[in-house]
Amino acid sequence: MKKKLIILSVITLLSISLLAQKETKKSSFGFGIEMGAPTGSYTNLYTFEAGLTIRYSYHAGPGFVTLTTGTLGLFPKKIVGQSEKVGLQIPIRAGYKYIFDHHYFVMGELGYVSTKTYYGAQGKVLSTSQGSFLTAPSVGVQFNAFEISLRYEAHPGNGGGIAGLRIGFNF
């Protein structure tokens, strides 16, 4: 089910014409580099998060309705005697990006994140997968095709989150 939803999201995003995100355009497509520091329970195992996201935006009112997905890696702490393997997150977020003063924006997103974590036990690397709803407020600035934002993504079901930065490019 998760794979089908992700594939459907990617196909939808790729089939839309690419337009630069400006307040006068109806829609745009972009990608972003996300990075940040884990919070909550994630700090026990991970030191850093980084990855790529893709976003579709549709102009509505003074801002944009957004749909975002991607792949993010959680980089593990070095623990003596434990195998090190990057954790994986796949978020699916929908939200609204409210633009004020032509360049500045605030955005709120809700969605779902699937997280796969790895751990060592008796010399073997084992994994566990879990999902959680997420909330992600952010604040940022955009200049035509370029945007940068500070964001916090909370995963209440997993007890963790990410405080980070997104650098995006919209077409």
pLDDT digits (tens, 9 = 90+) for 34-44: 999 999 888 88
DSSP, collapsed to helix, strand or coil, labels residue 43 as: helix
Its pTM stands at 0.79
pLDDT over 90 at 18, yes or no: no
In order of 60, 97, 152, the CA distances from 94 in angstroms are 14, 10, 15
Question: In whole angstroms, what is the distance from residue 94 CA to residue 85 CA?
Answer: 29
Average pLDDT over residues 130-150: 94
pLDDT tens-digit map of 43-60:
888 899 999 999 999 999
Beta strand 160-170 with 27-40 is antiparallel
Least confident of 75-79, 113-117, 140-144, 146-150: 75-79
- The residue ranking higher by pLDDT, 71 or 122, is 71
| Domain locations in the chain as residue ranges | 2-101+111-135+147-159
Among residues 92, 104, 20, 15, which one has the least CA distance to residue 63? 104
